[in-house]
């Protein structure tokens, strides 16, 4: 189904929620519990929920006795190998409170481009959802290389949303919305709605935030949101602390309106769509 408005979110059939490293690692590791509460609430009303979670490298870093996120690929892979198991344990421990079983799915960019791997991933995901298991997806960091890495999980989340034909993609971050400029800068204003085909004229989108933990920043979030919206999947970009309000359909974050005729904007066979900029519009114009 097409979700045209936030108020329809509670009746979504299938949603993908993406959370970034900065929101669920380090001093924010405690945010896993309220995140799981919100996902369990949606799961409990019959929505099929897929979580795309970053955080393997950030979670693993202290276990390697490193004080900062490693910069070289091999140490990132080592940190991810250690951190991914800890991360999944933390999620499952929290989902146990609701008797929800999670399933780990690790994907690479190559998997999404290779038709056989892609259909294998789709089949596995569909089966997990049929079985009422909640898939937790991350990039397969230990086998990915610089050339094939997604580079950020925002794009991975958009690809997963398209793969499983989700009604809604929720991109969570450490800021509550997309702003007209990096939110710590003076004069930054919250953007309520972005039309699927408008240009973000005058909007300054920075890379990663002050935490130094994430890797994508708002650039990758806007790009991922556009890719999904152009293909007809609605997107909410908001803070991890507002996920339960977002999933209840409250007016939080930035709403990326889905294209009414998704096929018109797509590139056949690529799984992605064209266009590199989005636009700020008034609420009335875009919704």
Ligand X SMILES: N[C@@H](CCC(=O)OP(=O)(O)O)C(=O)O
Q: What is the C-alpha R_g of the chain? A: 18
**DSSP-assigned beta bridge partners for residue 172:** 238
- Provide the minimum distance between the beta carbon of 87 and ligand ADP in the complex, in angstroms, as a whole number: 14
Residue 200: helix, strand or coil by DSSP? coil
The partner in contact with residue 56, picked from ligand X, ligand ADP, none with C-beta cut-offs of 5 to 8 angstroms by kind, is: ligand X
Q: Which of 153, 254, 266, 281 binds ligand X (CB under 6 A)?
A: 153
Cα–Cα distances in Å, from 70 out to 14, 30, 75, 261, 263? 35, 23, 6, 43, 41
Cα–Cα distances in Å, from 142 out to 7, 32, 47, 106? 40, 23, 31, 10
Does 174 count as an annotated binding residue? yes
The partner in contact with residue 209, picked from ligand ADP, ligand X, none with C-beta cut-offs of 5 to 8 angstroms by kind, is: ligand ADP
- Provide the minimum distance between the beta carbon of 122 and ligand X in the complex, in angstroms, as a whole number: 20
Q: Which is nearer to ligand X, 38 or 80 (CB)?
A: 80
**Phi, psi angles (nearest 5°) of residue 102:** -100, 155
Residue 11 makes CB contacts below 8 A (sequence gap 6+) with 1
Taking CB under 6 A as the binding criterion, the range among 90-98, 107-115, 118-126, 135-143 that sits at the site for ligand X is: 135-143
138 touches ligand X (CB under 6 A): yes
Q: Which is nearer to ligand X, 103 or 232 (CB)?
A: 103
Q: Which is nearer to ligand ADP, 135 or 183 (CB)?
A: 183
**DSSP H stretches of helix in the chain:** 21-24, 32-44, 56-60, 73-95, 109-113, 115-130, 153-163, 217-230, 243-247, 283-286
Does 114 count as an annotated binding residue? no
**Residue 96: alpha-carbon gap to chain centroid:** 23
Q: Which is nearer to ligand ADP, 179 or 255 (CB)?
A: 179
Query: What distance in Å separates the CA atoms of residue 171 and residue 174, rounded to the nearest whole number?
Result: 10
Given the rule CB under 6 A, which residues bind ligand ADP? 20-23, 173-175, 178-179, 181-183, 204-206, 208-209, 211, 214-218
Q: Which is nearer to ligand X, 256 or 257 (CB)?
A: 256
Residue-level length of the chain: 287
Which residues, 76 to 115, sit near ligand X by CB under 6 A?
80
Which residues, 257 to 286, sit near ligand X by CB under 6 A?
none
Q: Which is nearer to ligand ADP, 48 or 84 (CB)?
A: 84
Residues of each annotated binding site for substrate: 54, 141, 153
Residues of each annotated binding site for ATP: 18, 173-174
Q: Interface residues with ligand X (CB under 6 A)?
A: 20-21, 54-58, 80, 138-139, 141, 152-154, 214-216
């Amino acid at each position: 189904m097409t979700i045209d408005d936030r108020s329809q979110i509670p009746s979504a059939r299938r949603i993908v929620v993406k959370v970034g490293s900065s929101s669920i690692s380090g001093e924010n590791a405690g945010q896993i519990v309220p995140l799981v509460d919100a996902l369990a609430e949606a799961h409990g009303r019959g929505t099929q929920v897929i979580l795309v979670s970053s955080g393997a490298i950030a979670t693993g870093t202290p276990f390697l006795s490193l004080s900062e996120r490693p910069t070289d690929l091999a140490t990132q892979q080592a940190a991810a190998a250690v951190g991914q198991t800890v991360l999944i344990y933390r999620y499952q421990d929290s989902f146990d409170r609701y008797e929800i079983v999670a399933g780990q799915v690790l994907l690479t960019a190559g998997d999404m481009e290779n038709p056989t791997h892609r259909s294998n991933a789709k089949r596995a995901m569909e089966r997990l959802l049929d079985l009422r298991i909640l898939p937790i997806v991350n990039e397969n960091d230990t086998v990915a290389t610089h050339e094939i890495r997604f580079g950020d999980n925002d794009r991975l989340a958009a690809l997963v949303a398209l793969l499983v034909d989700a009604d809604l993609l929720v991109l969570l971050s450490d800021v509550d919305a997309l702003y007209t400029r990096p939110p710590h800068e003076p004069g930054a204003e919250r953007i309520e709605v972005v039309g699927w085909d408008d240009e973000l004229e005058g909007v300054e989108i920075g890379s990663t935030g002050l935490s130094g933990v994430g890797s994508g920043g708002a650039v990758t979030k806007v790009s991922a949101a556009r890719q999904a919206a152009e293909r007809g999947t609605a997107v909410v970009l908001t803070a991890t602390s507002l996920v339960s309000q977002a999933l209840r359909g409250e007016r939080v974050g930035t709403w990326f309106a889905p294209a009414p005729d998704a096929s018109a904007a797509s590139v056949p066979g690529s799984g992605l769509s064209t266009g590199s900029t989005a636009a700020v519009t008034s609420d009335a114009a875009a919704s």
